[in-house]
Amino acid sequence: MAVSPAARLRLSTVILPVRRWSQGGRQVWQRAEELGFDTAYTYDHLSWRSFRDGPWFGAIPTLTAAAAATDRLRLGTMVTSPNFRHPVTLAKELITLDDVADGRITLGIGAGGSGFDATALGHDAWTPRERADRFGEFVPLLDRLLSESGPGGVSFQGDFYSAREVRNIPGCVQRPRLPFAVAATGPRGMRLAARHGQAWITTGDPAAAEGGEKESVAALARQVDNLSAACAEAGREPSAIGKALLTGFTPHRPLSSVDAFVDFAGQVGELGFTELLLHWPIADSVFAADERVFERIATEGLSQLASQP
């Protein structure tokens, strides 16, 4: 019997770190758990676009606090990048976070972009090729640092990153390490996802978004096919890798109503996606939405999808 899209799909949320912990921050993460979301992620940026001149807190401390405030909810970054991270220090923070969360952490990771993070440390923004080159070294080294926790440590000398006898004892709670969800659209990133990822993340194709909803869905289908080809090259079964769509960057408006969500979820579920990520509403921003509709989608959306013939 074929598995329905609803049976494959998990529903997760992205909570931007814009609230003081004592002024609603804690309650949002706890509410995400109450609503039954599979995972709650947060952006790992120093600042982001239209939020640059407002409150914005660090991802790892926020997730550590969220881990202490919740019991079942998985937590993660969406996404961490080399723009201001180094594999050695990041690995130590992630092992600690995974310990505090008792194995509930997923690392969303990507090559980074050309936004504010790219120049905050005082250097010029890297070109797309330079970002891909660094990402190609960053991910395998981070994989080793999180997986190899025995005596002797990890040593590595690359073109961009190095490590010398780095010890990460006792390692992650999750074995052999916490899962990677690799954000990728190009061939080099897809190969990294196929080799190192437990999941793959996309926001869709920005160029296709200009062509409307049908073209955006077609572009998503092409991306899934490209991932399958990368998996075949790496000797992995495509079904072994989760496929996550970060919504809000295609022409679709899945948060406008429960029916709109069900229609959109059905389309992407048919493409093989296994996780949909919805931004938690933020008033007066690009992520503004009716919170009552959002909560109905969280509690009723997938069950309505499952009830469709």
d(CA 23, CA 69): 14
CA distances from 300 to 15, 106, 200, 258, 292 (A): 20, 25, 26, 8, 12
d(CA 250, CA 152): 47
CA distances from 206 to 34, 80, 94, 103, 209 (A): 33, 20, 31, 34, 5
**pLDDT of the residue at 309:** 76
**pLDDT of the residue at 138:** 98
CA distances from 57 to 7, 66, 97, 234, 303 (A): 35, 13, 16, 38, 34
Beta bridge partners of 178: none
**pLDDT of the residue at 7:** 67
**pLDDT of the residue at 8:** 84
The label of the residue with tokens 């572009």 reads 219
The label of the residue with tokens 């909803």 reads 213
| pLDDT (tens place) for every residue of the chain, 309 residues total | 455 666 689 999 999 999 999 999 999 999 999 999 999 999 999 999 999 999 999 999 999 999 999 999 999 999 999 999 999 999 999 999 999 999 999 999 999 998 889 999 998 999 999 999 999 999 999 999 999 987 889 999 999 999 999 999 999 999 999 999 999 999 999 999 999 999 999 999 988 888 899 999 999 999 999 999 999 999 999 999 999 999 999 999 999 999 999 999 999 999 999 999 999 999 999 999 999 999 999 999 999 999 987
Task: Give the distance, in angstroms, between the CA of residue 152 and the centroid of all CA atoms in the same chain.
Answer: 32
With helix as H, strand as E and coil as C, how does 103-150 read? CCEEEEECCCCCCHHHCCCCCCCCCHHHHHHHHHHHHHHHHHHHHCCC
Taking the whole predicted model, whether its pTM rises above 0.75 is answered as yes
Strands 39-42, 74-80: pairing kind: parallel
* H or E stretch covering 162: strand 162-166
**pLDDT of the residue at 98:** 98
- What SS3 class is residue 215? helix
**CATH code of 231's domain:** 3.20.20.30
Residue 195: name the closest of 207, 209, 184 by CA.
184
**pLDDT of the residue at 3:** 59
- Omega before residue 170 within 30° of 0, cis: yes
d(CA 29, CA 51): 20
**pLDDT of the residue at 116:** 87
Tell me how many domains the chain contains: 1
Q: Supply the DSSP symbol for 217.
A: H
**pLDDT of the residue at 181:** 98
Q: Which two tokens stand for residue 274?
A: 């296994």
For 202, the domain range is 5-307
**pLDDT of the residue at 6:** 64
Q: Which two tokens stand for residue 153?
A: 């440590």
Beta bridge partners of 162: 157
CB environment 287-308: b (16+ within 10 A), e (fewer)? bebeeebbebbbeebbebbeee
